[in-house]
Amino acid sequence: MADQQHRWQGGFPKIGIRPTIDGRRKGVRESLEDQTMNMAKAVAALLSENLRYPNGEPVQCVISDSCIGGVAEAAASAEKFRREGVGVSITVTPCWCYGTETMDMDPAIPKAVWGFNGTERPGAVYLAAVLSAYAQKGLPAFGIYGEDVQDSGDTSVPEDVKGKLLGFAKAGLAVAYMRGKSYLSMGSVSMGIAGSIVNDTFFQEYLGMRNEYIDMSEFVRRMDEGIYDPAEFEKALAWVKTNCAEGPDNNPAQLQKSRECKNQDWETVVKMAIIARDLMVGNPRLAELGFGEEAMGHNAIVSGFQGQRQWTDHFPNGDFLEAILNSSFDWNGIRSPYLVATENDSLNGVVMLLGYLLTNTAQIFADVRTYWSPSSVERVTGHKLSGDAACGLLHLINSGSAALDGSGEQTRDGKPAMKPFWEIGEDEAKKCLDATSWRPASVEYFRGGGFSSDFLTRGGMPMTMSRLNMVKGIGPVLQIAEGWSVDLPADVHDKLDKRTDPTWPTTWFAPILTGKGAFRTVYDVMDNWGANHGSISYGHIGHELITLAAMLRIPVSMHNVAEERIFRPRAWGLFGTDHPESADFRACENFGPLYK
């Protein structure tokens, strides 16, 4: 079994809190020391109490040793942050400070400034001055300023300030955690899909990541030479036999595999899942078995498996590998998901990663397969759509690679949900497994056989679908659509589902419409979607994705997030305020990739 601590061997970035102060001694600075440091302590407590790392532990904050009144103290704070592994910076102050003397100058660290809204000292004046300096120096920073005036002795953090601090910190930690990690390409380009043309320049300059590559023949080598933990394989196979129910075989009788061949396929796909995980994060057990090089892994935070067609025309498909690793549980119990993109679609893998790092929950990988208009549904099934689905639906369905969490069998407050692994109960994991059948793969698509997961997502879950696209001359562009999963009557779902491939998992998704642009109608959402795949995250996290995209200098071309929820660096407003979407493109182009 892979050592879970080994998985997190690089540790996690910390949040640095910088209390800045008016440096004038003999009365001014002394009167502000306690208030300023208490602001820093309040922010550190807020973040540690509300945010967790992917392993479930509370986020750690580091506070500068002293308030920062000038460049010497700023340098001392920066040195401490380097030693402590700080990857995100938040400056707090209730007063005027010397802007360029106290600011954080590290260009690779996401940064925000909270200027206390009080009348006794000009915290707002410092906030405006230092944000102006950040813009002038080409170091975009997020400005945080409470709407209501606070009294000087008020040590609370207002609700609107809390929301911005938490949103910024979540996105900043995602940026910091990706840096230095890998995308592991298992195979190459699948069926000419552009997203599986792995763009190493994008990963390096925008995400700070490296790219690792292995040929799919490495799976054959490891299976043939026994480069996996045999004890874990036996444990996993026994678990699969108990928990993974095999569904009916839809293939023509003459093309159906024998029971013996299906049993062999199960053994193969279980080995593939173990090997893919070991390739991503390593496995100390392999060193004990004499495979020291293979034990190291590729330090991959996300990966992609090509599969089609060079693998799947001959070997069992990768659906089990992808679905079980993307889920929050397997034969080793409940754990954090491993992220694997179907068909090595690295661009969809990236948005899976972004959604995961913001929520700590599993992600649903799917084809954006079909737009069903209300009239089409009524014509085919006689059913009139209503509720969230009244304006039409998107059928999200792909050969069984979606996380089993996507079944919606976990609950929060009695409603379907997808939760971080530390909140998932054993009974909820079992319900997700029981809601999934493993259907013998369609030989029309997968000549080598295998099994595809088949489940139906429960309705009523808030969801956000996203997609990253590469555009020549622009670079990466993000699309976001918030909406809801929808329940259909069983017979209606059955009629619609059977028109495609009923052996695959389905999510019926109703995007929230705004009446304009790409969200004028559901058809417009489908018509403007930039590629064949999308990643679906639990919750309405579009605003958090927008914040994260701004940090990475990735413009957002399409979203349905209300303007009051959007939080970008203050400098974005200097590129225009009437049309924020256009300003976003100009700002991202001007400042360029974070790591270029």
Instruction: Please state, in angstroms and rounded to a whole number, the distance separating the CA atoms of residues 416 and 405.
Output: 10
3-state secondary structure of 504: coil
Instruction: Please state, in angstroms and rounded to a whole number, the distance separating the CA atoms of residues 353 and 349.
Output: 6
Known binder of ligand: residue 367?
yes
Count of CB atoms situated within 10 Å of the CB of 519 = 20
Please say if 79 is a catalytic residue. no
Instruction: Please state, in angstroms and rounded to a whole number, the distance separating the CA atoms of residues 577 and 575.
Output: 7
Instruction: Please state, in angstroms and rounded to a whole number, the distance separating the CA atoms of residues 463 and 483.
Output: 5
Check 330, 343, 388, 501 and give the catalytic one. Answer: 343
Check 104, 229, 319, 367 and give the catalytic one. Answer: 367
Which residues, at least 6 apart from 205, have a Cβ–Cβ distance to it below 8 Å?
593, 594, 595, 596
Instruction: Please state, in angstroms and rounded to a whole number, the distance separating the CA atoms of residues 332 and 453.
Output: 19
Q: What separation, in Å, do the N-terminal and C-terminal C-alpha atoms of the chain show?
A: 39
- The string of DSSP letters for 191-240 reads TT-GGGS--HHHIIIII--EEEEE-THHHHHHHHTT-S-HHHHHHHHHHH
3-state secondary structure of 115: strand
Q: Which of 205, 239, 441, 193 is nearest to 341 (CA)?
A: 193
Please say if 367 is a catalytic residue. yes
Instruction: Please state, in angstroms and rounded to a whole number, the distance separating the CA atoms of residues 143 and 578.
Output: 19
Which residues, at least 6 apart from 110, have a Cβ–Cβ distance to it below 8 Å?
87, 88, 89, 142, 168, 171, 172, 175, 176, 551
Known binder of ligand: residue 533?
yes
Known binder of ligand: residue 278?
no
DSSP code of residue 456:
B
Binding-site residue set: 343, 367, 533
Q: Which residues are catalytic?
A: 343, 367
Known binding-site positions for Mn(2+): 343, 367, 533
